[in-house]
């Protein structure tokens, strides 16, 4: 079935009679469009970046702008992603409860909501910080919506890798908001998050690959054996750890020690999984969820060390 026909079917469902939604349920549905758990993860990287950019405690105003503007920008990109992907979300168990699938929010309303959030976010950065931060925010939203959602996700197995550009963009936006320019340190932070995303998300996608297969999404875990996915995860993990250690020069010895320990733990786990798969061990999909949860802990602690290292160095 074509994407056009699927979208027509989804839009036709709008005409079905619906019970009037309570205000709380409606607000909750719009919040769900923003995918708040993803927004929270983005802010985990952006706020500590401000500490390093300021080499200590950051400006309260800039911090507030980065938190609010960053949340609005991520919410915008996610809402527009839900609008575009409403056809495939209907086919996947993991996404079958999203507001556009359950017809809690109309597609046109979701589209307008996403655009408004994006406009407000970019304007907020432009008015309160600088045009570089505003431009990077706009570029990140457009990259996620157009390049990742509309092009990469449906057509290439490497969508997760190249989609990582927008996922790592918050550190550049935060740095630009604080300094009005970018630097080697900001690019290293970007590289850490960029290379972190494939092993993180592929670990989850391995578990849900039947969902992606049924929706026709050619993610790497769908089109390749688990050992191939883990082999690429090993490469990305080494690049991630290398970037994190290269940041030692700017983030200080406290950060460096934490980065070394966390990197060793992460590499040990991803190598363990790879060798198990290569040795013919069971490719039972939930086995990679340990790596998925570890990756969340890794990123949180690493960026907490960025903030602490900037203060105590």
Q: How confident is the model at residue 235 (pLDDT cuts 50, 70, 90)?
A: very high
Kindly report the pTM of this predicted structure.
0.89
**In terms of pLDDT, which residue wins out, 71 or 6?**
71
Please, what is the end-to-end C-alpha distance for the chain in angstroms?
58
Contacts by 259-267, CB closer than 8 A, 24 or more apart: 259/302, 259/305, 262/298, 262/301, 262/302, 262/305, 265/294, 265/298, 266/237, 266/240, 266/241, 266/294, 266/295, 266/298, 267/237, 267/238, 267/241
Locate tokens 């597609």: which residue?
Answer: 107
Give the pLDDT confidence of 13-60 residue by residue, as tens digits.
444 444 445 777 888 999 999 988 877 877 899 999 999 999 999 999
pLDDT of residue 288: 85
Domains, the chain? 22-181 (1.10.357.140), 183-313 (1.20.120)
């Amino acid at each position: 079935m074509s994407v056009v026909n699927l979208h027509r079917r989804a839009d036709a469902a709008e005409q079905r009679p619906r019970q009037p939604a309570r205000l709380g349920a409606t607000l909750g549905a719009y919040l769900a469009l923003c995918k708040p758990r993803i927004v929270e993860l983005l802010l985990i990287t952006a706020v500590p970046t401000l500490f390093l950019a300021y080499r200590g405690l950051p400006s309260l105003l800039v911090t507030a702008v980065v938190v609010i503007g960053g949340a609005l920008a991520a919410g915008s990109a996610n809402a527009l992603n839900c609008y575009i992907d409403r056809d495939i979300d209907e086919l996947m168990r993991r996404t079958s409860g999203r507001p556009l699938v359950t017809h809690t929010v109309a597609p046109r309303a979701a589209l307008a909501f996403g655009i408004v959030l994006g406009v407000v976010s970019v304007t907020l950065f432009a008015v309160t910080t600088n045009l570089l931060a505003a431009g990077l925010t706009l570029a990140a939203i457009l990259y996620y919506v157009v390049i990742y959602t509309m092009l990469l996700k449906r057509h290439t197995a490497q969508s997760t890798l190249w989609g990582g550009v927008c996922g790592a963009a918050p550190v550049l936006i935060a740095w630009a908001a604080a300094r009005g320019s970018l630097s080697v340190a900001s690019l290293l932070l970007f590289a850490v998050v960029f290379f972190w995303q494939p092993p993180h998300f592929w670990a989850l996608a391995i578990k849900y690959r039947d969902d992606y297969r049924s929706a026709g999404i050619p993610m790497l875990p769908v089109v390749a054996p688990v050992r191939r996915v883990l082999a690429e995860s090993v490469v990305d993990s080494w690049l991630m750890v290398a970037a994190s250690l290269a940041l030692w020069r700017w983030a200080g010895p406290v950060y460096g020690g934490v980065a070394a320990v966390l990197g060793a733990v992460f590499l040990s786990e991803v190598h363990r999984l790879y060798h198990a798969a290569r040795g013919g061990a069971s490719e039972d999909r939930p086995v990679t969820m340990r790596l998925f949860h570890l990756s969340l802990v890794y990123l949180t602690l690493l960026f907490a060390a960025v903030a602490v290292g900037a203060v105590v160095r």
